Structure 1
């Protein structure tokens, strides 16, 4: 990948600011996750670590996990989805009524069971009744659990 390891002290003005950008991103993530749970913020730290490690960086085009280990921890599904498999579904705002989808709502939900394959790239997923959205998902919106 062509990365170069550099050691430096904090607040050193001649550096390129990568650490500060990372710290700002982590701070924003923690503020979003902790929001109403300030007294139990220790319970969201594993979620924050997982989320940060598996989010794609704009400059590298990879997740931090991929940079370190060479492969993605959250692989998207190929054509190997079988009925009965458990998947996570991507929740898009356009699937919900305009007022019901919040900005800080989870981007994925699950695990849910695949109940049927419709064609080459559409699947019926067994969702809870209170979701109120279509049970048919495109392969791009599914992730193996």
Structure 2
């Protein structure tokens, strides 16, 4: 059964390359049972013709792979959030389960820590932050785990008459 499954996989056309793995490696489609019955005589053609066809096929495969990767990137970019930070910005950092040492993870432990300052920018997608001393994890985080810190608002809260208590002086 394994050889049949391998043959089926190698002769199946890939949606990214628009060619089968067998045809990419051997430059022709695999022989089926009907093809083995009437094998054509092997005629030696010019090596230059073979090389031009092979290089053209490889260029087609490369073009199809590039187009497929562009489609995948466009689909991934629809869900990606673009967030740029500067060195010195205060941020909140999310600690994923993988960042905790084995046995230290708890459902009730803090997930976000901060505010912590950014101390280095690796690229637009990765930043190094200054973690507290008790955190034994790498200080480098992906932008998906970083949020800008917004300090609490210090404005005065006023209560309108509809929200006031009837037990206050002067109320009915």
Using the size of structure 2 for normalisation, the TM-score is: 0.38
Q: Which has the higher contact order (CA 8 A, sep 6+)?
A: 1
TM-score under structure 1 normalisation? 0.45
Larger Rg computed on CA atoms = 2
